[in-house]
């Protein structure tokens, strides 16, 4: 990508990410593979010395921003550096680049047009923590809106971005907000150029309202000056529309009825927090992010919230148990099918083996070596075998011989007086 201009030495400009009335955000690349986000302010500072009021204001606000990172927060973007561009002398702040969608993206298709209660509670706690962190060191953001809060896909946290207004002078801020600010999120006092801690609290309330209702309280129909003025007047004079009614109309049509009913049970304490944030007068709101964060934490630990979470867990457990039962039934049916298939294979194999054995038996009988035998008529045509009787003569002779050998012998005297053994018969 070709360079549009040089930001500063060692920081490459990779093109614009987003442009607006408060300046433009560019994608930067440090020497190496480090990707950052660079906020450029539209008003140049021609003299980089303390004689220039704009430079003094810029330096003062940058010093405040540095305090934000002295104690890092997981919900606030890290400020890496600041200065003036080499060409154009435009003030800039360099921040870490957060990979992930912003809240505005998460409310567009294919995502649901509203946040679930659980996710809205997560955002409420983390964004309040971010405001408390900034306000504790004296930094007012001044431009809290849905596309300045990102979901970090690497950590799963919501991150507050873009401190561009925080480093502007009062005059620059007033001019910028009047001409190009996100009027849907602006507190009534901002139209007079004021930026208070309570101003951030008001914008926080608008963000939460939008996530739950599916729309901001006073939408901007177009970018014409007359439309912007109507929204400004509405913030100052008109009551905030009923959040639950808007939420009901924006619930996804494909959600089952039981889920729709459950998602309409927005905790009462959260509605009260949003209502107080959206008070017209700053003194009726929470005085800063710390008080707001305390209210959110107390609400999340309240009996109502705990019982609601308990009921939600019970419902989830019931759903999981039903899913487990369905899974077990499916597993059993699969096992039965597999067993039936194996039994069928076994029976088939047994039948085939028996058939081969019968054929072998028939072949053996038909070819028994008897002359004249042949094929299937072997048993019918075979002549009876003549069995020769074994003569018993030899057996008798053998018996006689044994008796002869066993017979006692008589001693017979001969003429010469000798005794001769003569067999006796």
Would you tell me how many other CB atoms lie within 10 Å of the CB of residue 363?
10
CA separation (Å) from 207 to 66, 145, 392? 26, 6, 123
CA distance 406 to 337: 82
pLDDT grade, residue 375 (50/70/90)? very low
Q: Where are the domains of the chain?
A: 11-301, 302-340
Q: What is the arithmetic mean of pLDDT over 212-229?
A: 93
Q: Is the pLDDT of residue 7 over 50?
A: yes
Would you tell me how many other CB atoms lie within 10 Å of the CB of residue 75?
22
pLDDT grade, residue 372 (50/70/90)? very low
Whether the Cβ atoms of residue 114 and residue 244 lie closer than 8 Å to each other: no
Give residue 285's pLDDT.
98
pLDDT grade, residue 250 (50/70/90)? very high
Percent residues over pLDDT 70 in the chain: 69
- The per-residue pLDDT for range 379-401, each reduced to its tens digit, is 445 455 555 555 555 555 555 55
87: cis peptide before it, omega within 30°?
Answer: no
Give residue 175's pLDDT.
65
Task: Take residue 28 and report the two structure tokens written for it.
Answer: 């930067």
Give residue 157's pLDDT.
96
Whether the Cβ atoms of residue 167 and residue 143 lie closer than 8 Å to each other: no
Closest CA to 219 of 241, 248, 251: 241
Would you tell me how many other CB atoms lie within 10 Å of the CB of residue 385?
6
Indicate the angle between helix axes 289-300 and 197-213, nearest 10 degrees. Answer: 40
pLDDT grade, residue 370 (50/70/90)? very low
pLDDT grade, residue 159 (50/70/90)? very high
Give residue 4's pLDDT.
44
What is the bridge-based pairing of β-strands 91-96 and 35-40?
A: antiparallel
CA distance 213 to 222: 20
Closest CA to 293 of 56, 54, 123: 123
- The per-residue pLDDT for range 327-351, each reduced to its tens digit, is 888 888 888 899 888 888 888 888 8
Closest CA to 214 of 108, 101, 102, 100: 108
Q: What angle do CA 30, 31, 36 make, to 5 degrees?
A: 10
Task: Take residue 241 and report the two structure tokens written for it.
Answer: 């529309």
Task: Of 154-158, 262-266, 358-362, give the lowest mean pLDDT range.
Answer: 358-362
Percent residues over pLDDT 90 in the chain: 40
Which CATH code, of 3.90.550.10, 1.20.1250.20, 3.30.70.1450, 1.10.510.10, is assigned to 11-301? 1.10.510.10
Give residue 265's pLDDT.
94
Mean pLDDT, the chain, whole residue set: 80
């Amino acid at each position: 990508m070709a360079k549009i201009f040089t930001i500063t030495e060692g920081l490459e400009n990779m093109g614009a990410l987003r442009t607006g009335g408060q300046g433009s955000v560019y994608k930067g690349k440090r020497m190496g593979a480090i990707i950052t986000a660079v906020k450029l302010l539209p008003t140049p500072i021609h003299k980089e010395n303390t004689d220039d009021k704009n430079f003094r204001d810029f330096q003062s606000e940058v010093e405040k921003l540095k305090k934000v990172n002295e104690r890092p927060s997981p919900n606030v973007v890290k400020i890496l550096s600041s200065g003036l561009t080499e060409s154009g002398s435009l003030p800039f702040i360099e921040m870490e680049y957060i990979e992930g969608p912003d809240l505005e993206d998460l409310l567009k298709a294919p995502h649901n047009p509203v946040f679930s209660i659980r996710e809205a509670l997560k955002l409420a706690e983390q964004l309040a923590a971010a405001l408390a962190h900034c306000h504790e060191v004296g930094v007012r953001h001044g431009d809290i809106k849905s596309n300045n809060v990102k979901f970090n896909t690497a950590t799963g946290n919501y991150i507050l971005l873009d401190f561009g207004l925080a480093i502007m002078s009062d005059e620059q801020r007033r001019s910028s907000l009047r001409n190009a600010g996100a009027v849907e999120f602006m507190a009534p006092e901002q139209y007079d150029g004021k930026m208070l801690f309570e101003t951030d609290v008001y914008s926080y309330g608008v963000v939460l309202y939008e996530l739950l209702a599916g729309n901001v309280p006073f939408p901007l129909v177009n970018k014409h000056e007359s439309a912007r003025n109507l929204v400004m007047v509405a913030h100052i004079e008109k009551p905030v529309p009923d959040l639950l009614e808007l939420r009901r109309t924006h619930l996804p049509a494909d959600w089952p009825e039981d889920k729709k009913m459950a998602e309409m049970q927005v905790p009462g304490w959260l509605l009260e927090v949003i209502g107080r944030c959206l008070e017209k007068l700053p003194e009726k709101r929470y005085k800063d992010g710390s008080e707001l964060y305390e209210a959110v934490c107390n609400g999340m630990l309240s009996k109502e919230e705990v019982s609601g979470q308990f009921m939600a867990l019970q419902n989830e457990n019931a759903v999981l148990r039903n899913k487990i039962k369905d899974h077990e039934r499916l597993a059993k049916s699969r096992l039965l099918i597999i067993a039936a298939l194996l039994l069928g294979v076994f029976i088939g194999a047994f039948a085939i083996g028996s058939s081969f054995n019968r054929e072998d038996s028939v072949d053996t009988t038909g070819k028994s070596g008897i002359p004249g035998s042949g094929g299937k008529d072997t048993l019918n045509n075979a002549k009876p075998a003549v069995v020769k009787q074994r003569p018993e003569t030899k057996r008798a002779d053998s018996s006689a011989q044994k008796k002869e050998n066993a017979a006692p012998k008589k001693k017979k005297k001969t003429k010469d007086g000798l005794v001769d053994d003569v067999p006796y018969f």
